[in-house]
Amino acid sequence: MRDTVTAVYEIESALPLEAVAEVMAGEQSCGTFVAVARETAELRARHAATVRSVEELPLSGATPLPGAAGEATEIRRGRVTIDFPLVNFGPSLPSLLAAVAGNLFELREAAALRLVDLDLPAAFADAYPGPQFGVTGTRRLAGRAEGPLLGTIVKPSIGLSIDELCALVAELAEAGIDFIKDDELQANPPGLPLAKRVPAVMEVLKRTAERTGHMPMYAFNITDDIDRLAYHHDLVRDAGGSCVMVCLNSVGLAGTDYLRRRCELPIHGHRAGFGAYSRSPQLGIAFRAFQKLARLAGADHLHTNGIANKFYESDDEVLASIRDVRTPLLGGYAALPVLSSGQTPGLAHATYEAVGTQDLLVLAGGGIHGHPDGSAAGVRAMREAWASALDGEPLDSRAAAVPELATALATFGRR
Amino acid sequence: MRDTVTAVYEIESALPLEAVAEVMAGEQSCGTFVAVARETAELRARHAATVRSVEELPLSGATPLPGAAGEATEIRRGRVTIDFPLVNFGPSLPSLLAAVAGNLFELREAAALRLVDLDLPAAFADAYPGPQFGVTGTRRLAGRAEGPLLGTIVKPSIGLSIDELCALVAELAEAGIDFIKDDELQANPPGLPLAKRVPAVMEVLKRTAERTGHMPMYAFNITDDIDRLAYHHDLVRDAGGSCVMVCLNSVGLAGTDYLRRRCELPIHGHRAGFGAYSRSPQLGIAFRAFQKLARLAGADHLHTNGIANKFYESDDEVLASIRDVRTPLLGGYAALPVLSSGQTPGLAHATYEAVGTQDLLVLAGGGIHGHPDGSAAGVRAMREAWASALDGEPLDSRAAAVPELATALATFGRR
């Protein structure tokens, strides 16, 4: 039997959906728009992608993509499942992308075309080591054996002086936070380069840890040209740091894999830019497919957003993303979902009830730094909110005992 | 004065467009959703992105993106121009992407959000070498000083045996083609790896060149993990090859730049996957912005599609893309537009009239291989069609003298 990659698409077309599925399979394997010499039956048997199923779905109601063939009134929607022979590309993520997520988005036959899921053969597990630390390794390095890891993002995102940054990091570390990250906008800017930021921040974290006995994980954003990734990683490692962060779409999945193969620290995978190819329901790549590729490429932490966030996704979509990241891939590839964007203490109970797991990294930026009594009070409020959720204690009862939590709820609201 | 990157967006929103523009500038520089400590006026003066202009545009009529705030009936469309301080990211393509094309696609404030253009400061020219060969170098290596370079894609895309591939390459080389490329689906598959394909193809090309005195450029598709790019490039170079190809979106712009810094051959940049973030008019990144980034990353050849192609773009869009690739960037970065998809001899006159330049690489896959008298006849027909277009001779008059051209027109039609 052929080893195959199975790709699932949601499409719309005014043409018969079965015919469109055949065009997709043909264009993305051995066909072109006219019959050509040497395209033998034997070649097709070995290399042709094959349509496994076409199921009709209710129409989305969204405008057809530009250039779509046929009459708009004839459009139907369907889920198309196609098997691609592994022999066409081998277990190579970049080559896989050209096959399952390449030219086909441009086909006139499609009024909508979205890659929603991928099922990969074991050969990919042999080729890609994937997350090196995952949930367990991250808990160990962050010193938080149970409960959700609570984190924050340095704010303002950019522009702090090194002294201001160090003061903020000291305050957060003193407050007992588990995780601090650079903003996705703060990478290696000329004014505050990693060469200056990494040793200064690590010095603060070590000094604080001497007193508190606990050092938070700090994700340094090392997003940059490929040739600087290993250098910046080594800088973090050598300074005693425990995490590096990259914007997955900026360095690319191939760039993430390149880093992974040289990496001795967890990789915090930020999804900035994901919306460009995923927010339209008519086009692109859905989170379920994307997160599998990102985990293969080595991301230990993956942003899913959280409920009630400031971005476009519904709570149901966010919760599905969290489940996706926690679902084993090829028998492993455990990664930690990162709940972020607009997260506040008032969301802890609703989140825990919906996800049913403590294996989460919950980030609050404004929800911590914007606390009227300062960042330390913000951390305390988040911690108490989550502790009460895990204990099954109502939020109000805990807030009555913890003034920082009461203030946070009054300031940021609740779900 | 601050060095800035100017980014132009087309947006839709039910909220006042000016307010949305301010949110975009804030979210993508030093703001977050609540005021935070240490966000001083001085910090903002240095690091805040600023809205330069907001111009109203006619509505697109397309469905608003999911999660968009406000009432659909209130939606307006506008062009927003924002200046991002260079100091926030420095001249780093990956960091630039996180700022101008990162989280903002996910904003609820936007019912549509598309990056349509970028104006970059000179610092990027100092940081990125860009195309090494461009038009001039490609002409030199392909041995075609004037007229469009005529090329083709190996078809069937995948599945040929090494002997079949060599026979096809010999036939095309004998026919006097300027350029041959692997399909974007044919990279380094286990059945026909580059280590086997490169020496065999180069041997055929050399043997043919000894007789014909002319060796076409062959673009070997080396798309793969980053760690294999330099190895595969060296394989091509050492075998006497003159071009490497990558799928820009599969290896990433950062991966392309990584290759460029180790490359001694022109880089043929394929855009497979571009549609995923560009086909919706409501979202993503337009070709004008994309091609600037791809040229900075080092692509010598850039796919624009051709007129009357089998994909979604209108002829006007294709022609604008060809103009974009030919427009100097930061005073240079000359790249060669690659016209492909459904190209046939019958399009030569219409194309030449519309683009007004010979500095083109025109690829025909099925339009050459599908010629009833074989690939060599297909090449002859393409060459004669273009020669007559450049000579100002009507297509019919040339077809009357060249049977291969007459057959091609009868088979594939004309514009």
Residues of A in contact with B227 (CB under 8 A): 258, 261
- A216 cis-preceded (ω within 30 degrees of 0): no
Q: Which residues of A touch B314 (CB under 8 A)?
A: 66-67
Distance between CA atoms of A89 and A3, rounded to whole angstroms? 11
Q: In this complex, do A280 and B285 lie within 8 Å of one another by their Cβ atoms?
A: no
User: Three-state SS for A83?
Assistant: strand
Strands B179-181 vs B149-153: parallel, antiparallel or unpaired: parallel
What's the rounded Cα separation, in Å, for the pair A101 and A80? Answer: 14
Whether A187 and B92 lie within 8 Å, measured CB to CB: yes
In chain A, domain spans? 4-127, 134-412
A247 is written with which tokens? 């914007």
B68 touches chain A (CB under 8 A): yes
Q: How far is A35 from chain B (nearest CA, A)?
A: 7
Preceding peptide of B156 cis, ω within 30°:
yes
**Which residues of chain A have a CB within 8 Å of the CB of B191?**
87
B329 secondary structure, DSSP code: B
Chain A residues within 8 A of B95 when measuring between CB atoms? 187-189, 223-224, 250
The reply to whether residue B105 touches residue A273, judged by beta carbons under 8 angstroms, is yes
How far, in Å, CA of B199 to CA of B404, rounded?
Answer: 32
- Enumerate the β-bridge partners of residue A80: A9, A54
CA-based nearest distance A279→chain B, Å: 7
For domain B4-127, give the CATH number.
3.30.70.150
Phi, psi of B101 (to 5 degrees): -140, 40
CB contact under 8 A, B47 and A156: yes
**Successive 10-residue mean pLDDT values, chain A, 415 residues:** 92 97 93 69 90 97 94 96 97 98 96 98 97 98 95 90 94 93 96 97 97 96 98 98 98 98 98 98 98 98 92 93 97 96 92 95 89 91 96 96 97 91
Complex ipTM value? 0.96
| Interchain CB distance below 8 Å, A312 and B164 | no
CA B21 to chain CA centroid, Å, is 29
CA atoms of B385 and B387, how far apart (whole Å):
6
| Residues ≥6 apart with Cβ < 8 Å to A212 | A173, A174, A176
Q: What is the DSSP string of B343-385?
A: --GGGHHHHHHHH--S--EEE-SHHHHT-TT-HHHHHHHHHHH
Residues of B in contact with A101 (CB under 8 A): 273, 276
Which of A279, A307, A310, A311 is the best substitution to test chain B (most B C-beta atoms within 10 A)? A279
Alpha carbon distance B180, B171 (integer Å): 11
Task: Provide the shortest C-alpha distance from residue B101 to chain A (in Å).
Answer: 6
- Tell me if B244 sits within 8 A of B222, measured CB to CB: yes
- CB B312 within 8 Å of CB B280: no
pTM confidence score: 0.96
Residue A240 structure tokens? 């005693």
Phi, psi dihedrals of residue B401, rounded to the nearest 5°: -95, -15
Fold of domain B134-412 = TIM Barrel (3.20.20)
Query: How many CB atoms are located within 10 Å of the residue B262 CB?
Result: 12
Kindly provide the b/e burial profile for residues B45-74, where b requires at least 16 CB atoms within 10 angstroms of the residue's own CB.
ebbbbbbeebeeeeebebbbbbbbbbeeee
Residue B329 in tokens: 């960037």
Tell me what percent of chain B is helix, strand and coil, each rounded to the nearest 5.
45, 20, 40
| 3-class SS of residue A232 | helix
Residues in chain A: 415
> Which residues of chain B does A92 touch, with a Cβ-Cβ cutoff of 8 Å?
187-188, 223-225
Q: Which tokens is B140 given? A: 């030199």
B405 vs A: CB within 8 A: no
Please give the C-alpha separations between residue A40 and each of A1, A30, B27, B166, B373, in angstroms, as whole numbers. Answer: 20, 10, 55, 17, 18
- Contact of B126 with chain A, judged by CB distance below 8 Å, is answered with no
pLDDT in tens, chain B (415 residues): 679 999 999 999 999 999 999 999 999 998 765 566 777 888 888 999 999 999 999 999 999 999 999 999 999 999 999 999 999 999 999 999 999 999 999 999 999 999 999 999 999 999 999 999 999 999 999 999 999 999 999 888 899 999 999 999 999 999 889 999 999 999 999 999 999 999 999 999 999 999 999 999 999 999 999 999 999 999 999 999 999 999 999 999 999 999 999 999 999 999 999 999 999 999 999 999 999 999 999 999 999 999 988 888 999 999 999 999 999 999 999 999 999 988 999 999 999 999 999 999 999 988 888 899 988 899 999 999 999 999 999 999 999 999 999 999 999 998 8
